[in-house]
Structure 1
Amino acid sequence: MKTIMRLMPGQSVLWLLFFAGVLAAWSMLFAMQASAPDAIGRDWSGAAYLWSLCSGTVADAGYLSAFVMWALMALAMMAPTAFPAFRTYQDLTHAGAANAMSVAVLITGYLMVWLGFSVIAAVLQVQLAGLGFVDAAGRSTSAALNGALLLLAGLYQFSTLKDACLSACKSPMTFFMGHWQPGLSGAFRLGLRLGAVCLGCCWALMLLAFVAGTMNLAFMGLAMVLMTLEKLPQIGTKLSAPLGVFLLLAGATVIVLPFATSIQI
């Protein structure tokens, strides 16, 4: 508590709620995964009920279950990556440009964008599962789809849109000053714009959850770290290109390997 008060003077309650929400999202995702081996024959309550949202085939589970899972992923993975931007906006409270309520509204606007993404991702997952391209763990069963997603993410690393969005994320103060709007409604619109910029940075990497599995906590943790580092000015500049090259090589390998193996046989 004292550490948060020292880092975030005057808004310790807000940041405690923020971190508690992120921790709760990770805890629920862990509970879903941890309950999976014992899912059959259990009374669906507590952590087991959380797993039931994603149990069975995704196609049978329905859109609501898939949306809940993606919404938790978005909160757990994306909220921490935007923390430097939230903190920058909070610093404006010292100059009287914002207050604790406007910070909360900004965060709400940001999360609304990712909730929208969660709706689209949930629909995509259910549809792919219905076609047999995604298994019960949310993992793609198609080498071609895996390769395409990896190549897409790799190519997007070098796109001008990714670069523009990433530049805004790396310089949050410049972003806020360039798009400043006063009041709570202005804070909400700023949050929406910030969420859109963040989505422009990270949507392709988020879709790689279909390659690793949407319930793969290791992937979630690694992706969160990579997306956070990409948004740091000094580190992100050195990370984006090598990450893109790695994804392109991985995608090409996934596509070519089955053909190479069949030729050898």
Structure 2
Amino acid sequence: MKALTRLLPGHGILWLMFFGSVLATWALLVATHVPVAAPHPAADYGLAYLISLCTQSVADAGLPSAVAMWSLMSLAMMAPTAFPAFKTYSDMTYTDAASGTSLVALVAGYLLVWIGFAVPAAYLQVHLADLHFLDAAGKSTSATLNAVLLLLAGSYQFSGLKNACLSACQNPMTFFFSHWQPGHRGALRLGVRLGAVCLGCCWALMLLAFVAGTMNLAFMGLAMVLMTLEKLPQIGNRISAPLGVFLIISGTVVGVLALTELFNGGI
């Protein structure tokens, strides 16, 4: 606790809860890869039940299970990427502009947006599984779909909306000053706005989970690192464009191979 206080002065308990929640979520995601028997419907809806919701194969998972999985993914992957913004807001609590409770409200508003994102993402997963486009690990079995998602994510890296959202994420102090709202409700609305900006920055990269596999922990970790680095101004401006080029080239290669296979199969 003393080490955390030295590294992050102020609100040590809140930061401990924040990082503890992120680590617990990652631990839960790891646990979902260990087969467990689903509890009896009459059993308590505790940790075992939550794990059982996420350990089903993607092909068999219903919408509630998929929403639970995407919510966990969003918390594990996106909360760390917003830490610089949360820390910037925390520094403002040394004045009368904000407080520890408003910091909690800000984080809650941010996470609310990503939990909202989990619903359409889960619906898309269930729909694709029904069409037999996903395997048991949530990985797309369609080369065409993979090519489309890769090209979409790569092209989006160069869009005006992406650049605007990324700029806001890279400059949280400017963002807070531009959209400041006082009080706890204001902090909650500010957190929702921050979450929306983050969503505008990262949604296309998140959809690449269907290419790598929605239950692929390696992809989750790599994507979290890339999205975190992208939000650091000194580093993000150097990797955003190369990442876009890489994704476009990958999508093009996958698309050409899919067309070649289709052409050869028709001969």
TM-score (norm 2): 0.92
Alignment of 1:1-150 (within 5 A): 1-33=1-33, 35-36=34-35, 42=37, 44=39, 49-150=49-150
Structure 1 residue 198: Cα displacement: 0.3
Whether the 8 Å contact between 2:59 and 2:135 is mirrored in structure 1 is no
Moved more, 189-198 or 6-15: 6-15
Structure 1 residue 261: Cα displacement: 5.2
Structure 1 residue 54: Cα displacement: 3.4
Distance 1:106 1:47 in 2: 27
Does residue 173 (structure 1) correspond to residue 211 (structure 2)? The answer is no
Partner amino acid, structure 1, of 2:9: P
Whether the 8 Å contact between 1:134 and 1:140 is mirrored in structure 2 is yes
Distance 1:84 1:64 in 2: 32
* Inter-CA distance 173–43: structure 2 relative to 1 (3 Å threshold): closer
3-state SS of 1:61 partner: coil
Distance 2:85 2:56 in 1: 38
3-state SS of 1:197 partner: helix
Partner amino acid, structure 1, of 2:222: L
3-state SS of 1:58 partner: coil
Structure 1 residue 114: Cα displacement: 0.1
Structure 1 stretches of 4+ moved >4 Å: 42-51, 261-265
> How far does the alpha carbon of each residue in 1:102-130 deviate from its partner, in whole angstroms, 9 at most, with x for none?
00000000000000000110111001111
1:231 corresponds to: 231
Distance 1:219 1:43 in 2: 26
2:198 corresponds to: 198
CA RMSD of aligned residues (A): 1.9
Distance 1:44 1:236 in 2: 45
3-state SS of 2:98 partner: coil
Structure 1 residue 250: Cα displacement: 0.5
TM-score (norm 1): 0.93
- Structure 1: segments with no counterpart, 5+ residues: none
Distance 2:156 2:27 in 1: 31
* Inter-CA distance 264–132: structure 2 relative to 1 (3 Å threshold): closer
The count of corresponding residues between Structure 1 and Structure 2 is: 260
Whether the 8 Å contact between 1:59 and 1:127 is mirrored in structure 2 is no
Alignment of 1:207-222 (within 5 A): 207-222=207-222
- Structure 2: segments with no counterpart, 5+ residues: 41-45
Whether the 8 Å contact between 1:67 and 1:119 is mirrored in structure 2 is yes
Whether the 8 Å contact between 1:150 and 1:247 is mirrored in structure 2 is yes
